[in-house]
Amino acid sequence: MSAELQQLYQQIILEHAKKRNGSPLADPPQGDKSGESHMLNPTCGDEITLRAAVHDDGAGITLSAISWDGQGCSISMASASVLSDLVQGMDREELLKVVDTFRELMRSRGSIEADEEILGDAAALSGVSRYPARVKCAMLAWVALEEALLAAN
Amino acid sequence: MSVVSTPATLKHAAGMIDDAEARRIRNDFPILNQQVNGSPLVYLDSGATSQNPLCVLEAEQEFYEQRNAAVHRGAHMLAVSATDAFENARETVAGFINAGMDEVVWTSNATEAINLVAYAFSNASAGRGGDAASRFVLGPGDELVVTEMEHHANLIPWQELAFRTGATLRYIPVDDAGALRLDEAEQIIGPRTKVVAFTHASNVLGTINPVGTLVRLAREAGAAVVLDACQSVPHMAVDVKALDVDFAAFSGHKMLGPTGIGVLYGKAELLNAMPPFLTGGSMITTVTMEKADYLPSPQRFEAGTQRISQAVALAAAVDYLRETGMDRIHAWEAELGQRLVAGLEAIDGVRVLGPAAGAERIGLAAFDVDGVHAHDVGQFLDDKGIAVRVGHHCAQPLHRRLGLVATTRASTYLYNTTDDVDAFLDAVAGVRPFFGAN
Ligand SMILES: Cc1ncc(COP(=O)(O)O)c(C=O)c1O
């Protein structure tokens, strides 16, 4: 087995793919605005429905809840799981920053080191960037989150 | 003409294909002689696209080096030479399926060939083609019949045709083993049926459909038969006259030829009564500012500058297949197909789609691995240099019917060996342990 494949399917990724933190879909907290996004990867049938709720306390907006339903490969499912763990409670700026950081990592073709400080368990998905065909799988939940946030506002 | 290398098979074309012969054949395919991720390439994705033997690559190069010109136009020597090569290629392909020269229409691929037929019906329904085309006119109350196992290429053109004309699309279901429900077919195909379109061999299940039975039902109903021959013509001897289908479609790239060329076979009488699909140069007799008259088939359907080098290369591919022998190829792939299925069935947590081991199938097998998504299976195999297809294989309704979203498919061709199949089976056995799906 190649080092690249080991790197792609790290134990932590396979565990997240099974645990699926943030799944299934849950009702948003009372009083918070929420938005939903349905994303499909038509080449392989990966599918996710993601719901994001935002809380506005007057001073700023934070992500109060994230949940999802989906089916797909281990990369797409693990990615949704690590995303759910990571972004819960973040304010808008932090959120945009992690999504951008993750996207940049995925597009890097293996040329940049993942910043674990910012990305948490999502850093373990860095191996995906060497497999351009799988980047879409890893991005699915993240793009869904962006869309769900737009829908919530 | 320059020298084109003699295929290895020419020198050995006797008896059954065995591993030794498959290895000799493999040597004719430059691309197969490479390492992927540190292992020798095991190419098991010929159902999606096949590879080209050197003689096909050389035929295309020879055309560009010595004959390239627009065909059916111009009086110069190269134009004559190119036209000869182009029409000789048609003759070769026509002979291969036992069709007439005027019954082989070049298209970009099978998908375009099927669309050509669907749009002929559509255009006739819009009033084009006059009385001659009246048998292609569709409207509310008419029915188009497909099957539940169709590739999207033989489904969506008919869906769209139904939307445009008001006709109804119906389908013959498959049973749990992936066979067509012929009892249902007898109920579904009737006086309202105008088209029966189905695949000869399934690109997912590997089943070979009973063409004779379906043609009989269609004939009794007075319906036209459209055969998707994408997975049959490359792999077995197909005689369109013996099958008595009205139309058949297949793609060059699945039969050792280049991409960009496909074939529509149609009975001459039907083709000549059909309004054209694509229109423009090279397909007309007289043109005024108001209207045009059209050439007979095949030029009638070949608007614009054609895929000349691709046709020439496809003919070289057909020669290669013929010299190797379609019956020998079919027998060898049937053996590989059985080895695939028997091996897969023996692996814990693997479910093979379609007929069980021992039952007839072409040389491919699609399967589900319990607890592991097909995309991950494909990635794991690729790491060992094994190329397979993952996803729905352009057959979403069939996957839905079988309760699946995506599967993995291994598909063989004449250049595969039992070693290829065994390397694949060995790798598949490692999938569930690797992903912790036990
Ligand atoms: C059964 C079947 N029909 C149609 C097609 C479409 O062929 P193409 O994409 O070359 O038009 C394919 C190939 O994918 C096929 O396997």
Q: What is the pLDDT of residues B333-369, one digit of tens each?
A: 999 999 999 999 999 999 999 999 999 999 999 999 9
Phi, psi dihedrals of residue A79, rounded to the nearest 5° = -65, -40
Phi, psi dihedrals of residue B323, rounded to the nearest 5° = -65, -35
Pure H helices in B147-210 = 156-165, 182-188
Nearest CB among B37, B372, B406 relative to A44 is that of: B406
Give A46→chain B minimum CA distance, Å: 9
Residue B149 CA to ligand 1 center (angstroms) comes to 13
Kindly list the residues from chain A whose CB atom is less than 8 angstroms away from the CB atom of residue B436: 14, 18
Nearest CB among A1, A45, A47 relative to B383 is that of: A1
Residue B110 Cβ contacting ligand 1 at under 6 Å: yes
Nearest CB among B375, B399, B434 relative to A73 is that of: B375
Q: What phi-psi label fits residue A62: left (phi over 0), alpha (psi between -120 and 50 degrees) or beta?
A: beta
Alpha-carbon span A136 to B401, nearest angstrom: 26
Question: What's chain A's average pLDDT?
Answer: 93
Alpha-carbon span B366 to B148, nearest angstrom: 16
Please name the residue whose Cα sits nearest to atom 7 of ligand 1.
B110
Is residue B194 a contact partner of residue B118, using CB atoms and an 8 Å limit? no
Task: Decide which of B73 and B55 is more confident.
Answer: B55
pLDDT given at position B74: 78
Place of tokens 């598949």: B428
Alpha-carbon span A88 to B9, nearest angstrom: 64
Are the beta carbons of A46 and B434 separated by less than 8 Å?
no
pLDDT given at position A153: 81
pTM beyond cutoff 0.90: yes
- Residue pLDDT, tens place only, A43-100: 778 899 999 999 988 888 899 999 999 999 999 999 999 999 999 999 989 999 999 9
Long-range CB pairs of A1-6, under 8 A, 24+ apart, other chains included: A1/B383, A1/B434, A2/B37, A2/B38, A2/B383, A4/A127, A4/A130, A4/A131, A4/B383, A5/B379, A5/B380, A5/B383
- Residue pLDDT, tens place only, A22-37: 999 999 999 899 999 9
Is residue A48 a contact partner of residue A22, using CB atoms and an 8 Å limit? no
Residue B182 CA from chain centroid, whole number: 23
pLDDT given at position B13: 53
Sign of CA dihedral B231, B237, B239, B243: negative
pLDDT given at position A60: 87
Residue B309 Cβ contacting ligand 1 at under 6 Å: no
Is residue B150 a contact partner of residue B181, using CB atoms and an 8 Å limit? no
As given in the structure block, the two tokens for residue B344 are 């897969």
Residue B205 CA to ligand 1 center (angstroms) comes to 14
Q: Which residues contact B296 (CB under 8 A, 6 or more apart)?
A: B102, B271, B272
Give A70→chain B minimum CA distance, Å: 12
As given in the structure block, the two tokens for residue B163 are 């939307």
| Residue B370: pLDDT band with limits 50, 70, 90 | very high
- Residue pLDDT, tens place only, B87-96: 999 999 999 9
Place of tokens 């083993």: B177
Alpha-carbon span B432 to B438, nearest angstrom: 6
Are the beta carbons of B375 and A1 separated by less than 8 Å?
no
Beta bridge partners of B106: B263
How far is the CA of B356 from the CAs of B86, B178, B206, B219, in angstroms? 43, 10, 10, 32
| Residue B73: pLDDT band with limits 50, 70, 90 | confident
Measured N-to-C along each axis, helices B418-429 and B374-382 cross at an angle, to the nearest 10 degrees, of: 120
User: Does the structure show a pLDDT above 90 at A42?
Assistant: no
- Residue pLDDT, tens place only, B392-421: 999 999 999 999 999 999 999 999 999 999
Long-range CB pairs of B136-141, under 8 A, 24+ apart, other chains included: B136/B273, B136/B274, B136/B275, B138/B165, B138/B166, B138/B167, B138/B194, B139/B165, B139/B166, B139/B167, B140/B166, B140/B167, B140/B168, B141/B167, B141/B168, B141/B192
Is residue B21 a contact partner of residue B12, using CB atoms and an 8 Å limit? yes
* Omega cis (within 30) before B191: no
User: Does the structure show a pLDDT above 70 at B4?
Assistant: no
User: Does the structure show a pLDDT above 80 at B218?
Assistant: yes
Residue B232 Cβ contacting ligand 1 at under 6 Å: no
| Antiparallel, parallel or unpaired: β B386-387 and B42-43 | parallel
User: Does the structure show a pLDDT above 50 at B181?
Assistant: yes
Alpha-carbon span A122 to A120, nearest angstrom: 5
As given in the structure block, the two tokens for residue B398 are 């069939």
Are the beta carbons of A5 and B383 separated by less than 8 Å?
yes
**Among A128-137, B134-143, B344-353, the least confident range:** A128-137
Name the closest residue on chain A to residue B400, using Cα atoms. A45
Kindly list the residues from chain A whose CB atom is less than 8 angstroms away from the CB atom of residue B409: none
ipTM value for the complex: 0.93
| Residue B11: pLDDT band with limits 50, 70, 90 | very low
Kindly list the residues from chain B whose CB atom is less than 8 angstroms away from the CB atom of residue A72: 373, 375
Q: What is the DSSP letter of B412?
A: -
Q: Which residues contact B290 (CB under 8 A, 6 or more apart)?
A: none
Q: What is the DSSP letter of A39?
A: E
Residue A81 burial (10 A CB sphere; 0-12, 13-18, 19+): buried
pLDDT given at position A102: 97
Three-state secondary structure string covering B89-132: HHHHHHHHCCCCHHHEEEECCHHHHHHHHHHHHHHHHCCCCCHH
Residue B109 Cβ contacting ligand 1 at under 6 Å: yes
pLDDT given at position B96: 98
Nearest of B320, B335, B410, B336 to residue B28 by alpha carbon? B320
Please choose from B198, B247, B254 the residue to mutate so as to test ligand 1's pocket, defined by most ligand atoms within 8 A of CB: B254
